């Protein structure tokens, strides 16, 4: 597999300047892509329940830097993005290996850049940390809390726009390769709640980011997209873990 070219060194002044300069252009391109996308995106939404809560962060990886769903504000969204690739020339494990070796391999660079801030260069390991730079005045620090040959999961850290977890995985469905991104998250604070649920800016930027990632993974698979991108959301306003989630 051919990976995306490297971004400036993580944490360097060049990297920070690079990200800041990308914000205005990134927001414009996100809006343009949203208006002119011809790929069908099928959205469904329904009420959720306690079964939509994420698994607990492993104790050995849970410290005061982890931002769990209980730390967030507003409704919890359990959301799954999925796409099928027919006639893929690589296995699900190859797709995930490419992403774990270089997370930017699948993401549109004008919308998000993963910068490793903790861990050895190269392949992703449990306990590694990244900052996801996105267009707009926010960063998304995350920690790797699980990985297998065909999946990996990230938990948000303090300062992230969201509070929760996200998992990337690839499987087979019949003869097709299936790529999924599954997230369990609430806005990280009241400002994020405003951006997500009132202005809806962050929510649409995020939806476009993961939709584009699904499409890029299909292209990387050597196959062809079967149908559109499916986005299924279950909204949970309250749960039974002793924490009220206001809508």
What are the tens digits of pLDDT across the range 118-132?
Answer: 999 888 999 999 999
3-class secondary structure, 144 = strand
As a whole number of angstroms, the distance between CA 61 and CA 187 comes to 22
Give the model's pLDDT for residue 166: 97
From the number of C-beta atoms within 10 Å of its C-beta (0-12, 13-18, 19+), residue 7 rates as middle
Question: Is pLDDT above 60 for 241?
Answer: no
Give the model's pLDDT for residue 238: 57
Question: Is pLDDT above 90 for 60?
Answer: yes
Report the chain's mean pLDDT, rounded to a whole number: 81
User: Mean pLDDT, to the nearest integer, of 182-191?
Assistant: 82
3-class secondary structure, 169 = strand
User: Mean pLDDT, to the nearest integer, of 133-147?
Assistant: 83
Which of 189, 97, 81 lies closest to 151 in space, CA to CA?
A: 97
User: Mean pLDDT, to the nearest integer, of 71-75?
Assistant: 89
User: Mean pLDDT, to the nearest integer, of 86-102?
Assistant: 96
Question: Is pLDDT above 70 for 109?
Answer: yes
74: region left, alpha or beta (phi > 0 left; psi from -120 to 50 alpha): left
Give the model's pLDDT for residue 32: 53
HSE (side-chain half, CA atoms, 13 Å) at 132: 25
The CATH class, in words, for 13-236 is: alpha beta
């Amino acid at each position: 597999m051919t990976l995306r070219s490297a971004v400036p060194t993580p944490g360097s002044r060049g990297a920070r300047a690079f990200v800041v300069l990308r914000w205005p252009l990134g927001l414009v391109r996100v809006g343009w892509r949203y208006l002119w996308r011809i790929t069908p995106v099928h959205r469904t939404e329904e009420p959720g329940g306690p079964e939509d809560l994420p698994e607990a962060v492993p104790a050995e990886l849970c410290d005061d830097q982890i931002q769990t769903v209980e730390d967030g504000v507003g409704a919890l969204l359990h959301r799954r993005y999925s796409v099928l690739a027919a006639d893929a020339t690589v296995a699900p494990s190859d797709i995930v290996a490419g992403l774990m070796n270089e997370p930017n391999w699948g993401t549109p660079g004008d919308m998000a850049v993963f910068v490793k801030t903790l861990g050895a260069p190269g392949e992703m390991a449990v306990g590694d940390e990244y900052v996801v730079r996105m267009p707009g005045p926010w960063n998304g620090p995350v920690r790797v809390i699980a990985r297998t040959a065909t999946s990996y999961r990230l938990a948000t850290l303090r300062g992230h726009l969201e509070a929760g977890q996200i998992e990337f995985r690839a499987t087979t469905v019949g003869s097709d390769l299936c790529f999924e991104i599954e997230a369990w998250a609430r806005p990280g604070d009241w400002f994020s709640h405003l951006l997500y649920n009132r202005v809806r800016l962050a929510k649409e930027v995020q939806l476009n980011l993961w939709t584009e990632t699904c499409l890029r993974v299909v292209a990387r698979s050597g196959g062809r997209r079967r149908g559109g991108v499916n986005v299924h959301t279950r909204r949970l306003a309250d749960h039974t873990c002793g924490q009220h989630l206001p809508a």
